[in-house]
């Protein structure tokens, strides 16, 4: 077997506000696995590095890719414990190759077009008018669960947005999640949680910055809103460390980004450990291209999920790849008639092997 990788810059249709600033483009990396006797047939995966968020980003990243490439040729395993994006990219490429190089990673009722995955509508960061317009658009599209990023604009404006929504839609009609991305601190987090309480929120993700387990545990204990850990999980890659974190903080939920949380195998370990402790969970994508997004959606469909997931829709980028995923209202669907995924779209990438 052989492996190759190709860096690729995804370009946003419009500047996108995230907790890591305004993004115009995002670097990712495609991975392919093939038999050297038949290189035209290959499995494709995505190592979705997230600069500024991924712990693995840095000078050693391409060295680890080269090490993995060499080990695949030699038939040796590579320790990717601290390189979750490479782990998931390699997992995807192997699954695709094993499935006939068709873009089929986890065959199921979802990939046969018989089932769908319900997702939340995400309202990106922006000024008040922008967020209001995006929120109304999500509701008009039929989303019954909407997540808003908070902590980026004036908090009073964010409260006004939530108040407007609740005046029109009850908690029974529309589920609201908020994601603070660590925006609050010891001086304002408890007042913020109290101000948010009347809006009957499903949860608040990462109210304070990661890396403060004692403080986060206290926030979880006193918060009137269920707390979900997100960035807190990134870089915690060994089972004993995952167990320790969950027991020390005891959150209501964990939010899993497979590209940042150990790939499919590492995320399944998080799910098992959380479930053993009666901690809820859901899965979120992390600005992957359609390659990684399709694989993650297929995997999620096999997990027996019963709540809206945080998956993207593949509509953010001008230079995305083709995909069998389709959005129908709040449901992410798979169109089997769009298989096999066109391999020609990967032909002219800067493959390194």
In this predicted structure, what is the pLDDT of residue 331? Answer: 97
19 falls in which pLDDT band (50, 70, 90)? low
| Common-topology check for domains 2-101 and 117-338 | no
The CATH number of 117-338 is 3.20.20.120
- Tens of pLDDT, residue by residue over 141-189, are 999 999 999 987 889 999 999 999 999 999 999 999 999 999 999 999 9
- Tens of pLDDT, residue by residue over 220-254, are 999 999 999 999 999 999 999 999 999 999 999 99
Is the pLDDT at 20 greater than 60? The verdict is no
In this predicted structure, what is the pLDDT of residue 17? Answer: 60
Torsion sign (Cα): 209, 212, 217, 223: negative
- Tens of pLDDT, residue by residue over 295-335, are 999 999 999 999 999 999 989 999 999 999 999 999 999 99
In this predicted structure, what is the pLDDT of residue 124? Answer: 81
Cα separation, 53 vs 344, whole angstroms: 31
Instruction: State the average pLDDT over residues 201-209.
Output: 97
130 falls in which pLDDT band (50, 70, 90)? confident
User: What average pLDDT does the structure give for the chain?
Assistant: 94
Q: Tokens in use for 59?
A: 């000078």
Instruction: State the average pLDDT over residues 215-222.
Output: 98
Element (H, E) at 308: none
Closest by CA position to 294, among listed 342, 242, 248, 332: 332
Which of 64, 138, 149, 242 is flagged as catalytic?
Answer: 149
257 is annotated as an active-site residue? yes
339 falls in which pLDDT band (50, 70, 90)? very high
Domain boundaries, the chain: 2-101, 117-338
Closest by CA position to 208, among listed 223, 195, 199, 197: 223
Cα separation, 12 vs 295, whole angstroms: 21
In this predicted structure, what is the pLDDT of residue 266? Answer: 96
Torsion sign (Cα): 253, 256, 261, 265: positive
In this predicted structure, what is the pLDDT of residue 169? Answer: 92
Bridge partners of 33?
A: 3, 43
- Tens of pLDDT, residue by residue over 23-74, are 789 999 999 999 999 999 999 999 998 887 788 888 799 999 999 999 999 9
64 is annotated as an active-site residue? no
Instruction: State the average pLDDT over residues 115-131.
Output: 90
Instruction: State the average pLDDT over residues 64-93.
Output: 97
- Tens of pLDDT, residue by residue over 265-283, are 999 999 999 999 999 999 9
* Percent of the chain's residues with pLDDT above 70: 98
In CATH, what class is 2-101? alpha beta
Is the pLDDT at 83 greater than 70? The verdict is yes
């Amino acid at each position: 077997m052989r492996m190759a990788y190709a860096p690729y810059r995804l370009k946003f249709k419009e500047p996108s506000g995230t907790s890591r600033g305004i993004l115009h483009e995002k670097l990712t990396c495609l991975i392919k696995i093939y038999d050297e006797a038949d290189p035209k047939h290959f499995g494709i995966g995505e190592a979705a590095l997230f600069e500024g968020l991924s712990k693995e980003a840095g000078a050693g990243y391409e060295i680890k890719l080269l090490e993995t490439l060499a080990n695949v040729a030699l038939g040796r395993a590579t320790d990717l414990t601290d390189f979750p994006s490479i782990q998931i990219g390699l997992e995807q490429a192997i699954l695709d190759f094993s499935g006939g190089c068709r873009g089929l990673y986890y065959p199921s009722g979802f990939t046969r077009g018989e089932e769908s995955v319900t997702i939340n509508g995400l309202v990106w960061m922006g000024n008040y008018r922008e967020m209001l317009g995006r929120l109304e658009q999500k509701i008009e599209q039929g989303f019954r669960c909407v997540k808003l990023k908070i902590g980026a604009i004036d908090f009073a404006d964010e409260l006004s947005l939530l108040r407007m929504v609740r005046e029109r839609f009850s908690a029974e009609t529309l589920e609201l999640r908020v994601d603070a991305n660590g925006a609050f601190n010891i001086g304002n987090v408890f007042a913020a949680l109290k101000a948010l309480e009347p809006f009957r929120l499903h949860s608040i993700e990462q109210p304070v910055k990661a890396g403060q387990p004692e403080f986060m545990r206290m926030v979880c204990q006193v918060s009137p809103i269920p707390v979900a850990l997100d960035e807190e999980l990134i870089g915690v890659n060994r089972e004993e460390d995952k167990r320790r974190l969950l027991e020390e903080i005891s959150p209501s939920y964990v939010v899993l980004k497979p590209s940042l949380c150990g790939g499919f195998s590492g995320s399944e370990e998080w799910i098992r450990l959380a479930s053993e402790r009666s901690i809820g969970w859901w899965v979120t994508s992390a600005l992957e291209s359609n390659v990684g997004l399709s694989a993650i959606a297929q995997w999620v469909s096999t997990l027996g999920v019963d709540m809206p997931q945080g998956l993207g829709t593949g509509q953010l980028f001008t230079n995305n790849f083709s995909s069998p995923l389709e959005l129908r209202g709040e449901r992410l669907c798979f169109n089997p008639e769009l298989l096999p995924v066109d391999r020609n779209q990967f032909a002219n990438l800067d493959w390194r092997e």
